[in-house]
Amino acid sequence: MSTILVTGARGFIGKALATSLVNMNHWSATGAAGMFRRSFSPSARMLCATLFFTACAAVAAPPDPPPAAVRIHSVTDIGHEFTFYADGRFYGQYIAGDGNQDARNWGTLHKCSFKNANLLVLLSGATPCPFTTKDIAATRKLLEEGGGVLVLGTYGTFRDQKEYQLNALARAYGAEFLKNTAKEPCHATQALNAKEIKKSWPCSLIRLDNPKEWTILITDADGGALMARKPVGKGALLVAARGLFGCKPDASDPINAEWVKPLLRDVAKNKKVDPGAPVEGQWFDRSEKHGKLTLCYSDYTAHEADTIKSLYDKCMPILEDIFGVPPIEGAMTGLLLLPTGGGGFSSGNNIGLGIWWGDFPKNLYPMIELIGHEGAHSWVLPFGEPFWNEPIATYIGALAARRMGCTKEADNIIYGNIARAKKLDPDMTKYNIAHDTNVPGEVGWGKAMWIWEQMRAEKPDAIARYFKAKRELAKPGVLKQYTPDDCVAVLSVAMERDLFPWFRQHGIMVDKSKATIKMDKVPAAKAEQ
């Protein structure tokens, strides 16, 4: 599935949800000595050394004192562009550890309090969300107080827009991200003292209005700036090409961490924070109650709120008809408008929709499928589906879209997936999609959809029958987990026939004797061939 992250069936709650999903990596506090060195001017270092020598002349020299601790309380902005990388991975790669904390800004930046924060991380690409005058003023206030502001940019414009939005903020401080990218090799200047410069993708060059105001830290082969800092108020502004930092979804690429970590401590060091109090982020700052549903968004995404809510309202009764049951109590109570074209997520209680997904609002099919897909992840609760959790979500999204008139697109998704699976498993007997770990993705998706097509050919309301039976039989008090065996037992009850032999004939080796759910009223199947 092309969604940025889709999860099923877990009871994550509100603000904590995405953080809980992030596979945080923590690093030891390497580079602390480097930070100490950079924290003092050469003359100050000499002064320290002299005093030290005088005081200790008669005794053996003790080891170097530890560097002054800098506690970082960062706020990472995901209000201008939502990415899972910004939602925890950047923090995990470059800030976590040593008692540091991070919170996220989901909303309109200038409404976020930076009271107990000393580092603001801004990283956005081709988003249409503007950095407003008030947003820029909020960053300036933080800098005046001694905080650090990290501006990581990759030049890009949203659809037919002319401007790269982050440049409005960069220009306010005399910098601008350019369309041109860096030429190899890139160098760290002496001020950075980095042995190696790695890149995750092409780096946008940065034009500086007055280079003398800046300390340039990294340049490309032609001397163009890729990273530079300058003091603003008591604080420090650091502008850098986004490509100098990691990007992998599993946060396995903490490139340049050995010099980024001490640099960030240095940038944040002039604003002391209270380590006993949490750093505050901001949830969506605008919300509307619609019955049980709360629609959450920000100033930047307000213009899409009505359009998406209206489509969501059209989808819900259709989905409920397909499922045959309403969502469980507490599920799907929040609809979050995410500033991204990259997909969505479900946390049970909330579903997040990337509001520019699939060229919305120009194209409707992808957004309907996404609403259906993320809705399905919540709808299947209290237990996620065991082996077809993702394909069934897209399948149901496609069925909903078909009912809303997007027949061609829905057919393309369903029959396209089945056709791709049949290329590898022509009779649908070869792969055990419930248990094997080496099942090709095409088969995992296409075979799941093919099974549901068979069920619906037999009983057109098969999905509704299945979820009604599941609600009745698969209760948290009865089951600890919902296994493939339980799933086929429930499907058998729904279809009023023992489907274990049929699944086994199709290579899916489920075992009726291992199912916790009993099929008392289902006629026994004939012995397997």
Quote the least distance from Cβ 434 to Zn ion, whole Å.
Answer: 18
Quote the least distance from Cβ 488 to Zn ion, whole Å.
Answer: 21
Q: Output phi, psi for 164, to 5 deg.
A: -85, 115
Helix, strand or coil for residue 372?
helix
Contact between 351 and Zn ion per CB under 5 A: no
Quote the least distance from Cβ 368 to Zn ion, whole Å.
Answer: 15
Quote the least distance from Cβ 407 to Zn ion, whole Å.
Answer: 23
Residues 375-394 interacting with Zn ion (rule: CB under 5 A):
390, 393
Q: Give the CA distances from residue 62 to residues 51, 55, 56, 57, 337, in Å, rounded to whole numbers and listed in that order.
A: 14, 11, 9, 11, 57
Residues 389-428 interacting with Zn ion (rule: CB under 5 A):
390, 393
CA–CA distance, 374 with 312 (Å, rounded to integer): 11
CA–CA distance, 84 with 102 (Å, rounded to integer): 14
Number of residues forming the site for Zn ion (CB under 5 A)? 3
Nearer CB in complex with Zn ion: 285/390: 390
Quote the least distance from Cβ 269 to Zn ion, whole Å.
Answer: 42
CA–CA distance, 387 with 284 (Å, rounded to integer): 34
Residue nearest to Zn ion according to CB distances in the complex: 6
Give the distance between the most distant pair of CA atoms in the chain: 95
CB 183 within 8 Å of CB 153: no
Nearer CB in complex with Zn ion: 3/124: 3
Q: How is 393-405 classified by DSSP, letter by letter?
A: HHHHHHHHHHHTT
Nearer CB in complex with Zn ion: 203/393: 393
Nearer CB in complex with Zn ion: 245/388: 388
Nearer CB in complex with Zn ion: 251/393: 393
Stretch that binds Zn ion, among 2-10, 141-149, 269-277, 440-448 (CB under 5 A): 2-10
Quote the least distance from Cβ 477 to Zn ion, whole Å.
Answer: 27
Binding residue for Zn ion (CB under 5 A) from 2, 4, 5, 6? Answer: 6
Q: What is the dihedral of CA 46, 51, 57, 63, to 10 degrees?
A: -70
Quote the least distance from Cβ 354 to Zn ion, whole Å.
Answer: 13
Q: How far is Cα of residue 131 from the mean position of the Cα atoms in its chain?
A: 21
Q: Could you tell me how many helices (H) and strands (E) the chain has, helices first?
A: 15, 15
Contacts with Zn ion, residue ranges (CB under 5 A): 6, 390, 393
